[in-house]
Structure 1
Amino acid sequence: MSDYLKLNQANWDERAPLHAASPDYQAQMFVDDPRHLSEVVRFDLPLLGDISGLRGVHLQCHIGTDTLSLARLGARMTGLDFSPASLAEARSLAARTESAIEFVESDVYKACEVLPKGAFDLVYTGIGALCWLPSVDTWARNVSQLLKPGGRLFIREGHPMLWALDESREDALVVDLPYFERSEPLVWDDDSTYVSTDRPLKATVTHAWNHGLGEIVSALLKHGLDISGLVEHQSIPWEALPGQMRCDEQGEWHLQHAPWRLPLSYTLQAVKRLG
């Protein structure tokens, strides 16, 4: 296993039980209400459309709340993640909700070694996933290999322009980090996570990368997908820029002042070419 994978996996293994216990992930609401969907998937619904009957795979599924939501919309879902602790929480939630979801442990770059190629109608990637991958080209190749001809990729992700900002600045939007993909990772040392908890992490070091929007689109085109939709959003489902944002009733965060200045996330859809 690569060093970056070991570091990131240790970090996410620690985060998983904290996230599962946090009200932010609404695990108990899934148990109590068989119609409950995650806030992320509820946001996605207008663009996602009807997925009933589709065979889908959720890459980098974490503790499975979005995977479960997609299954509740009628898709036959598989979730894939590299974190054993995350998958333990995902399987527990699936069991508690009596949901027939398969969860598979793997690095996303090895997805085609553990999942059937050309078998999926839908590849779904939720928000906050691509930044943990060093090569968007390798990711796009795996997405293409998993999809059937005519199958669809759906991704909502943090905008690369947002990832390039200095989040420690509360007085201005300051571009201080790479927008484009680089071979060298951004190395972070942080004992906190994005849910409220009084338990500091011990595995604090993570490696991350940005990927420009053009790089993502070009990688998908290179590997046999055609872009069918691209929408930029003025919101993101966490307080990405502390001190500069407000939260709406749907749990989405917006810039407090002049939100039209900056795209915070985007939804991209692509279809694998026939033949």
Structure 2
Amino acid sequence: MTDYRTINRANWDERAPAHAASPDYAVDRFLADPGYLSEVVRFDLPRLGDVAGLRGVHLQCHIGTDTVSLHRLGARMTGLDFSGASLAQARALADRTGAAVDFLEADVYDAPEVLGRGGFDLVYTGIGALCWLPDVRRWAGVVADLLRPGGRLFLREGHPMLGTLDDPRPDGTLAVAHPYFERPEPLVWDGPGTYVQTEETFRHTVSHSWNHGLGEVVTALLDAGLDLTMLAEHDSAPWDALPGATVRDAAGEWRLADRPWRLAQTYTLQARRRG
């Protein structure tokens, strides 16, 4: 298999400064308002509950806006990512906002070796993370290894049904074009842009990703020793996944302009490690 880590790391390393400078990540609002939380974390506040005092780790934390948001809610946070350039932006955000967050560089599959086993009350994985991993069962094992007995996983992710869709057709039709279930071979994308507003031009345009069916994710967690405590599907996403077919709401989420109830775009899942 082609080294997907090298390919994807180059893609993320190049985009990290552009993401930090984009209004979509709202770094300026973090700097101006010590109570500001990322839109992703604010969306799930009713489901997240009280995290004050919890020892948490944010896997695949990117530039750290969600990590710092969880810190602002009182959690003792560590962020982990494989992109050094992303972590440079995350550390700068933490330094400039006075957030006591540790950021470590490692592949997510190596997290138990880097962070230790059984020491976390909360494992948080934010939107757009699992698709970069080829093996969801291995990821579930990592989550179980990190959590103490009774510790909690909180995951919000792009829905696998959304991941199957091609770009909207001129007549608005949405067509299934990609695998719903995890496949050994990656989906190979070659696109010049990124998912935020930016005028930057990128050289590293290729990325490798995988879809993971909802049943595959749930079963992997159950088999790894976690019990599902919540699963909610949403008709919206925090990025414009289907340009030309969506509208943005007051909370900053994007949903289909025409009959949004047709499509689950994201989901929120919670699970606890068995004691």
Q: Counterparts of 2:185 and 2:75 in 1: how far apart (Å)?
A: 38
Structure 1 match to 2:198: 197
Q: Find the aligned partners of 2:118 and 2:269 in 1 and give their Cα distance.
A: 20
- Which whole-Å CA distance do the structure 2 matches of 1:258 and 1:198 have between them? 32
How far apart are 1:2 and its partner, in Å?
6.6
SS at match of 1:103: strand
Give 5+ residue unaligned stretches, structure 1. none
Q: Return the offset for 1:195.
A: 1.3
Q: What secondary structure, in the 3-state scheme, does the structure 2 residue paired with 1:25 have?
A: coil
CA separation in 1, counterparts of 2:236 and 2:82? Answer: 28
- The Cα of 1:212 is off from its aligned counterpart by 0.2
Q: Does residue 46 of structure 1 match 2:38?
A: no
Q: Note the alpha carbon deviations across 1:64-103, whole angstroms, 9 max, x for none.
A: 0000000000000000000000000000000000110000
Structure 2 unaligned residues grouped into runs of 5+: none
Relative to the length of structure 2, the TM-score reads: 0.98
| Shift of residue 28, structure 1, vs aligned partner | 1.3
* Deviation per residue, 1:85-136 (Å, 9 max, x gap): 0000000000000110000001101111110110000000000000000000
Q: Tell me by how many angstroms 1:196 deviates.
A: 1.6
Question: Would the aligned equivalents of 2:80 and 2:105 in 1 still touch at CA under 8 Å?
Answer: yes
Show the counterpart of 2:243.
242
Offset of 1:198 from its aligned partner? 1.9
Whether the aligned pair in 1 keeps the contact of 2:168 and 2:175 (CA below 8 Å) is no
Residue pairs, 1:60-71, within 5 angstroms: 60-71=60-71
Paired with 2:22 and 2:10, the residues of 1 have a C-alpha distance of 19
Please list the CA deviations of residues 127-146 of structure 1 after superposition, one character each: whole Å capped at 9, or x if unmatched: 00000000000100000000
Q: Which runs of 4+ in 1 moved over 3 A?
A: none
Distance 1:70 1:221 in 2: 26
Measured in 2, the distance between the counterparts of 1:224 and 1:25 equals 34
Identity of aligned residues (%): 66
Task: State whether structure 2 residue 197 is matched by structure 1 residue 213.
Answer: no
The number of residues matched between the two structures is 274
Q: What is the correspondence of 1:1-275 to structure 2 with a 5 Å cutoff? A: 3-170=3-170, 171-274=172-275
Q: CA 1:60 to 1:2, structure 2 compared with 1: closer, same or farther past 3 Å? A: farther
Residue identity opposite 1:210 in structure 2? N
Deviation per CA, 1:6-51, whole angstroms, max 9, x where unpaired?
Answer: 0000000011000001111111111111000000000010000000
Partner Cα separation in structure 2 for residue 195 and residue 230 of structure 1? 27
Separation in 1 of the partners of 2:119 and 2:77?
Answer: 12
- Match of 1:85, SS state, is helix
How far, CA to CA, are the matches of 1:101 and 1:239 in structure 2?
29
Give the Cα–Cα distance (whole angstroms) in 2 for the partners of residues 194 and 176 of structure 1: 20
Residues 149-206 of structure 1, C-alpha deviations (whole Å, 9 max, x = no match): 0000000101000000002535211111000000000000111011122222111110
CA distance in 1, matches of 2:85, 2:177: 33
Q: How far off its partner does 1:218 sit?
A: 0.4
- Provide the rounded CA distance (Å) in 2 between the counterparts of 1:196 and 1:44: 23
Contact map agreement 2:181 2:211 (CA 8 A) in 1: yes
State the secondary structure of the residue aligned to 2:111: helix
Q: Distance in 2 between matches of 1:143 and 1:60?
A: 12
> What is the alpha-carbon distance in structure 2 between the residues aligned to residue 54 and residue 70 of structure 1?
10
* Alignment RMSD (CA, Å): 1.1
